[in-house]
Amino acid sequence: MNDNSKVLALKYRPQTFKDLIGQKTTAETIINSIKNNKIPNAYLFTGIRGVGKTTIARIVAKSLNCSKNTVDLCEDNFCENCKAISNSNHIDVLEMDAASKTGVEDVRDLIEFSRYGPTSAKYKIFIIDEVHMLSKQAFNALLKTLEEPPNYLKFIFATTEIKKIPITVVSRCQRFDLSRIKSSELFQFLKKISLKENGKVSDEALKLIVKISEGSVRDALSLLDRGILSTLKDEELSLAKAQKIFGFFDKAQLIDLFIFLLEGNEAKTLELYRKMHDHGMDPKVFINDFLELLYYLKNIDSLKIEGTNFSLNDSEYDEIKRISSKLENETLILFWQFTIKIMSELDIVSNQNLSIEMFLCRLIYLGGFKDNEKLEKKLENNELTFTSDSSQNTNKNISKSNKIINQIKNISQTNKVDPHKELETFSDGLKKFEIETFSNLIKVCNDKKEVKLKYELENNVNLVKFENLRIEISFNEKLDKNFIKDLTSKLHDWTGKRWIITLSKTQGEISYKEKLIKTKKDEIEKINKSKLFSELKKNFSDIKLVDVKNKHDQN
């Protein structure tokens, strides 16, 4: 086959150790072991896709069986063994895909085949790709041969899932963890390839390819191949065209959208998002890039342009730094939490685009610039409460000010939207309860038929402090895990105000139920000692006081 008809990932596949990029340490270790004749029984290469696991396995096989008996030579004019291994048709080098041959019978056939020595080379080599796909029985069948193979037999394993391989197998191999290729190395490699292919590709487009490939050489070459094929003969692959081809949008657009969002400009925010969506932007890609932007805004002071994996250019870096200086860290952390939460919603709603638009609308009401709204933090008794005070914004570019965020509580007290609850609150109208004491709270629970809450309050709550809009209780393992969240929600419904419920290490009172039992016991004892009960006992010797009830007690 003509080399020009091959895809770039195969055409420029490394054939020697010197052709490898990004795996210098691994290459040096293997070369030294071969030169010093300290060759392990088995090699194990692990790493993400496209970093050279199978490629290095073949290079090792060539180095072990090279007719010139050295790893330094046989680079330009390959010997017969090296040629055959490169073409995957060497009789003594067997490549096996464990994804399609996972059973113990396949491994037994392999072991049976290993009993015969090499035909034309020095070693008989078994290359097993995606070795983690082998079954447990297959691994067990391989163990003995792997530990003490014949002198002429070598194993080379490659896997992306090292944790799925039994430790007994890993311990019998010399393991090499292949790292992701650095952005700068991959960029220079792609630039060299594009020049060889006579393709006109801008540096910005190459940087975008590097970013999308995430350190995988194969992915990068496949994207470059696709980009070059998508351009005319004398046309350059620009950043704009590359973004259109690969379905990625300009980072500057995301920054503009973020500014509109912070300013509370809902119309422009949605307009810009819809424009990005119309250009083929995937909702999940948008969320991932949005999270990346939040990370940069939070940590921009500790980052350098060259350390951002080609995600930012100079102008974007400066703009993010400018925006970051006007933002509170609390705002960014809240945005991060809400963005993580929307990822689970994307799999529920059939039209993911609608979820993203509603997500952006929600973020508009969470925070803004320091000059427009202040996001204040209160820290009371280990509970974090965020409060935002609305203010008028006179900026010409802002269509409306952000709304008030009264309180955004920690996860344990977050109120979930419940349509039934909202209807119930609405139907109550202005009728609200004033809850001034703990016993008053229990009575309200009883009146509202909140049996579960009433039970927890009476039996498992050890009260430390009860005051206006605040309840402090001791830690109690018996408390239901949703108790605080449920009680906070109900108190808001019943009183129309926000209550803060905190857990304290301070030892509280005995439970309400225990207190009632103790009171009743004291009352019985008091009556037993009374004159009236003594007179009754004279006339009825077997009389016994069992219980005392208050005629006003409806419980």
How confident is the prediction along the chain (555 residues), in pLDDT tens digits per residue? 456 667 888 888 888 888 898 888 999 999 888 888 889 989 999 998 889 999 999 999 988 888 876 555 566 678 888 888 888 888 888 888 888 877 888 888 888 888 888 888 888 999 999 999 988 888 888 888 888 888 899 999 999 999 999 999 999 999 999 988 888 889 999 999 988 888 788 888 888 888 888 888 999 999 998 888 888 777 888 888 887 788 776 677 888 888 888 888 889 989 988 888 887 778 888 888 889 888 888 888 777 655 455 566 667 778 888 888 888 888 888 888 888 888 888 878 888 888 888 989 888 876 544 444 443 343 333 333 333 333 333 333 333 333 333 333 333 344 444 444 443 443 344 456 678 888 888 888 888 888 888 888 888 888 888 887 888 888 777 788 788 888 888 888 888 888 888 887 778 888 888 888 888 888 888 887 787 777 777 777 777 777 777 655 544
Q: How far apart are CA 8 and CA 224, in angstroms?
A: 8
The 3-state DSSP class for residue 431 equals: coil
CA 121 centroid distance within chain: 48
- 3-state SS of the chain: helix, strand, coil percent to 5? 50, 10, 40
- Give the span between the Cα atoms of 359 and 387, in whole angstroms: 20
Compute the Cα dihedral for 302, 304, 309, 311 and give only its sign: positive
The answer to whether the CB of 250 falls within 8 A of the CB of 279 is: no
Residue 141 CA to residue 107 CA, distance in Å, equals 7
Report DSSP state, residue 237: B
Nearest residue to 483 via CA among 516, 427, 441, 424 = 441
Q: Nearest-5° angle of CA 283, CA 287, CA 290?
A: 135
- Name residue 470's beta-bridge partners: 467, 500
Round to whole Å and give the CA distance between 280 and 250. Answer: 12
What the block records as the tokens of 462 is 């050890």
3-state SS assignment for residue 466 = strand
- From the list 235, 211, 233, the residue with the least C-alpha distance to 223 is 211
Beta bridge partners of 463: 473
Q: Identify the sign of the CA torsion 364, 365, 369, 375.
A: negative
Q: Is the dihedral of CA 497, 498, 503, 504 positive or negative?
A: negative
Domains with residue ranges and CATH for the chain: 3-177 (3.40.50.300), 183-246 (1.10.8.60), 251-370 (1.20.272.10), 419-504 (3.30.300)
How far, in Å, CA of 434 to CA of 432, rounded? 7
Rg, the chain, Cα only: 36
